[in-house]
């Protein structure tokens, strides 16, 4: 880890320190998209994540979503409540195991999902567009590894 900009420091470069760098990149990269689901749909981050999971994978339990999104069950629980209040999803108890409830989007939820998904696709393309295709492939591969997705 070198430090080109401040060679008079002690050899540690904060702007290249991966936890800091990743966090800053993640913040910058998500801020404009955040505005969409926040200002336009009044959603929190966990809420759109639940919405996206249900939109993508159909019916899921809170636990399954939490596991895939690495999100604590209390956060999921609150997001589900909120989405339910806004009529974006409905729950149905599992008959075999009555602790479990299956979550699925309502038509309203589906439509919100489709709109946000399309925006997300464009948004991702715009972010990726500033790099070479092979570079962006390397980036995603490394990030998936860091994220523990594979």
Does residue 63 interact with DNA by CB under 7 A?
Answer: yes
Taking the CB of residue 126, how many other CB atoms lie within 10 A of it?
11
DSSP code for 8: T
What is the token pair recorded at 103?
């979550």
Does residue 30 interact with a second copy by CB under 8 A?
Answer: yes
Of the chain, the end-to-end C-alpha distance in Å amounts to 26
Q: Work out the angle at residue 63's Cα, subtended by the Cα atoms of residues 62 and 69, and round it to the nearest 5 degrees.
A: 90
Does residue 145 interact with DNA by CB under 7 A?
Answer: no
Work out which of 98, 107, 125, 130 binds DNA, going by CB under 7 A.
Answer: 98
Does residue 122 interact with DNA by CB under 7 A?
Answer: no
Distance (Å, rounded) from C-alpha 90 to C-alpha 58? Answer: 12
CA-based torsion, 81, 87, 50, 120: positive or negative: negative
Rg (CA), the chain: 19
Residue 36 CB, shortest distance to a second copy, in Å, is 11
Subset of residues 2 to 21 that bind a second copy, contact rule: CB under 8 A: 6, 9-10, 12, 14-21
Q: Which does 97 bind (CB under 5 to 8 A by kind): DNA, a second copy, none?
A: DNA
Does residue 2 interact with DNA by CB under 7 A?
Answer: no
CA-CA-CA-CA dihedral for 76, 29, 54, 125, to nearest 10: 180
Number of residues that bind DNA (CB under 7 A): 22
Does residue 87 interact with a second copy by CB under 8 A?
Answer: no
Does residue 24 interact with a second copy by CB under 8 A?
Answer: yes
Footprint on this chain of a second copy (rule: CB under 8 A)? 1, 6, 9-10, 12, 14-30, 33-34, 49, 52-53, 56-57, 70, 117, 120-121, 123-125, 127-128, 130-131, 135-136, 138-140, 142-149
């Amino acid at each position: 880890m070198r430090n080109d900009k401040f060679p008079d420091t002690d050899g540690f470069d904060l702007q290249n320190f991966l936890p800091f760098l990743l966090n800053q990149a993640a913040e910058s990269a998500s801020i404009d998209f955040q505005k969409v689901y926040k200002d336009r749909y009044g959603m929190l981050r966990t809420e759109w994540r639940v919405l996206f999971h249900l939109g993508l994978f159909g019916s899921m339990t809170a636990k399954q979503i939490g596991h895939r999104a690495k999100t604590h069950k209390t956060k999921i629980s609150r997001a589900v409540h909120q989405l339910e209040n806004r009529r974006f999803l409905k729950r149905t108890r599992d008959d075999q195991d009555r602790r479990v409830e299956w979550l699925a989007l309502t038509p309203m939820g589906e439509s919100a999902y489709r709109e946000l998904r399309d925006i997300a696709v464009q948004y991702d393309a715009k972010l990726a567009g500033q790099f070479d295709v092979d570079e962006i492939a390397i980036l995603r591969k490394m990030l998936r590894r860091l994220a523990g997705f594979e």
